[in-house]
Every structure is written in C-alpha cells, then in structure tokens.
Amino acid sequence: MGFSIDLLPAFADNYIYLVSDVALGLAMVVDPGDPEVVRRALQKKDLHLALILNTHHHSDHIGGNAKLQREYGAPIIGPTLEQHRIEGMARAVENGDLVTFSDLRGQVIGTPGHTSGHISFYFPGLKALFCGDTLFSLGCGRLFEGSASQMWQSLTTLRGLPDDTLVYAGHEYTEENGHFAQVVDKDNLDLKQRLADVATLRRKGKPTLPVTLGDEKKTNPFLRVDCPDFQKSLAKNGFPVDGTDPAAIFGALRAGKDRFDSGTKTL
Ligand code: ZN
Ligand code: FE
C-alpha cells in the first residue's frame, strides 16, 4: 500500500495531483493542465503514467491531456456530460461510477455547478478527495455553467464524506478566499486559527492543501450557509439574508463573493 500524492504547482495557482504506486513505478494524474510539469515529476521519480483523470473541461485542467496520452499511452477518464469538450477520452464516467488505479478504487461523484458536468473523485483508500474547481479551501468554484442550487447540492454531497477526508482542490486560492470568509464570519475562532496557519504556510511558500474536510466544515462559509450561527453572523456583518433557504443564502453569498473579488473588498 505504498502510495504517495504529490502536489505539482502549475501556472499561477493550479495544483496538478500525481498519485504514485511506488512499488509498481506507476502513476495517475488528476487534471494535468501543463504536460511539462507532469513529465518532469514523472522523470524525477522514475514513474510511468498509467492514467489521466479530468474533473472538468477547462483548459487549465486538461491542457496536458493530449501530450501525456501520446507520450505514455495513458487513457483519459473524464465526465460524460463534457465528453464533447474533452478530446481523446477513453472512458466517460458519471456519478456512482468507479475508477481504478493499481489496487485503489475511486468513486465518481457528480458535482455540477462550476461547469455543467463537473465530477469529483473520492478514493477511500487514500482518504483523498480530488474535487477540481468545486470545493476550495475557504471557498468554492464560480458558477460558470450551473445554478446556485446545483452547486449547493454538490457541496452538501461532498460535505457528507468523512471528516478525515483530505481535500485536494484545483487551486491555491485559500489566502484570497480567507479575505472574504473573514468579513462574513468575523467571530469564528476556528476560522481565525485557520487564517493564521494559512498565513504562516504561505509566508514559507508552502501549499495550504490538502486540508481535512472536518476543518473545512468549521471554517468554509460556503459549507456553513445552513448553520444558524453562521446565518446570524451574516446578518450581523452587513450581509442580510432573506429567510433560511440554504440554497438561496448560498446563491447570495456566492454573488457577494464575485462582487468582492472584482476589487471592491466590501460587501
Ligand atoms: Zn475550472
Ligand atoms: Fe481551474
């Protein structure tokens, strides 16, 4: 059971995840946006690439597919609903399907919202969740193709996984997300602690991922919209919410974060 998971930074803030079976000298890669980054890691560790997994069709997640497939013959597995937007897929999968790498089994979880066919991969044997651009630490993906209620449904599904699940998200957005989280959830002591830890990690140039799902449940505002304490905090911190429908609050919060990101830094 000698598996290791490497975080390969790519572009400005992407992470490509390389899972290797050290004994067999085989690897699988999740969302290889940049083929050179993956090739270098494989060479350095003397690994052969056996499998490519894609969470969604955006180019920063699939840009290395073709080159790596050509060089290593590794099959590409991606979402059925985005099959027409990802070239060269060997197998299309959807919610409930299983993927295998070495003696590991990964469950495919449908997580639409960021894109219409977005999927995540959960490997119980690694306690690892590869969730692409659905769940980020202290945030979540933008709603490019899905509705707020779809994304909320996707996040609640992921939230149902065990607390000790390690969240491997597609981007290093944690510190940036923290600025918004801090404003809407001022009195959350767990969040304060996480922000302090994140600041320290970033100062040392280290990744803030993976993070446990248990920690995210306590600190990520987008996973807390159905929590009465958080709803009170929203009202108190200048974010009036109408009613208590979690999907509606989620939608308002996501829209608030979009405005916040575009430079106002106010609610
Ligand atoms: Zn994306
Ligand atoms: Fe992305």
- The whole-number pLDDT of residue 212 equals 98
What DSSP state is assigned to residue 266? -
Residue 172 φ/ψ, nearest 5 degrees: -90, 80
Span 138-197, pLDDT tens digits: 999 999 999 999 999 999 999 999 999 999 999 999 999 999 999 999 999 999 999 999
Query: Is 179 a known active-site residue?
Result: no
Query: Is 164 a known active-site residue?
Result: no
Q: Kindly name the residue from 60, 118, 185, 215 that is annotated as catalytic.
A: 60
- The whole-number pLDDT of residue 100 equals 98
- Please tell me the number of the ligand nearest to residue 111's CA: 1
Query: Is 133 a known active-site residue?
Result: yes
Q: Kindly name the residue from 114, 118, 185, 215 that is annotated as catalytic.
A: 114
Three-state secondary structure call for residue 3: strand
pLDDT (average), residues 5-18:
98
Q: Kindly name the residue from 21, 31, 34, 56 that is annotated as catalytic.
A: 56
Q: Tell me how far the alpha carbon of residue 213 lies from the centroid of ligand 2, in angstroms.
A: 20
- Please tell me the number of the ligand nearest to residue 57's CA: 1
Span 214-223, pLDDT tens digits: 999 999 999 9
Nearest by Cα to 152 from 253, 257, 66, 233: 253
Within the chain, residue ranges assigned H as helices are: 35-45, 59-62, 65-72, 148-159, 174-184, 189-203, 213-219, 228-236, 246-259
Q: Tell me how far the alpha carbon of residue 230 lies from the centroid of ligand 1, in angstroms.
A: 28
Query: Is 57 a known active-site residue?
Result: no
**CATH architecture observed for domain 3-169:** 4-Layer Sandwich (3.60)
What b/e readout covers 218-250, taking b as 16+ CB neighbours within 10 angstroms? bbbbbbbbbeeebbebbeeeebebeeeebbbbb
Span 191-213, pLDDT tens digits: 999 999 999 999 999 999 999 99
Question: Is-above-0.95 flag for pTM?
Answer: yes
Query: Is 58 a known active-site residue?
Result: yes
What is the percent of the chain with per-residue pLDDT over 90, rounded to a whole number?
A: 93
Q: Is the CA virtual torsion 242, 244, 248, 253 positive or negative? A: positive
- Whether the Cβ atoms of residue 140 and residue 151 lie closer than 8 Å to each other: yes
- Whether the Cβ atoms of residue 84 and residue 96 lie closer than 8 Å to each other: no
Q: Tell me how far the alpha carbon of residue 2 lies from the centroid of ligand 1, in angstroms.
A: 31
pLDDT range class, residue 1, cuts 50, 70, 90: low
CATH 3.60.15.10 domain extents, the chain:
3-169
Q: Kindly name the residue from 31, 34, 57, 61 that is annotated as catalytic.
A: 61
pLDDT (average), residues 49-77:
98
Q: Tell me how far the alpha carbon of residue 141 lies from the centroid of ligand 2, in angstroms.
A: 8
Vertex 1: Cα angle to 110 and 93 (nearest 5): 20
Q: Tell me how far the alpha carbon of residue 50 lies from the centroid of ligand 2, in angstroms.
A: 23
Q: In angstroms, rounded to a whole number, what is the distance separating the alpha carbons of residues 211 and 81?
A: 29
What DSSP state is assigned to residue 75? P
Q: Tell me how far the alpha carbon of residue 236 lies from the centroid of ligand 1, in angstroms.
A: 33
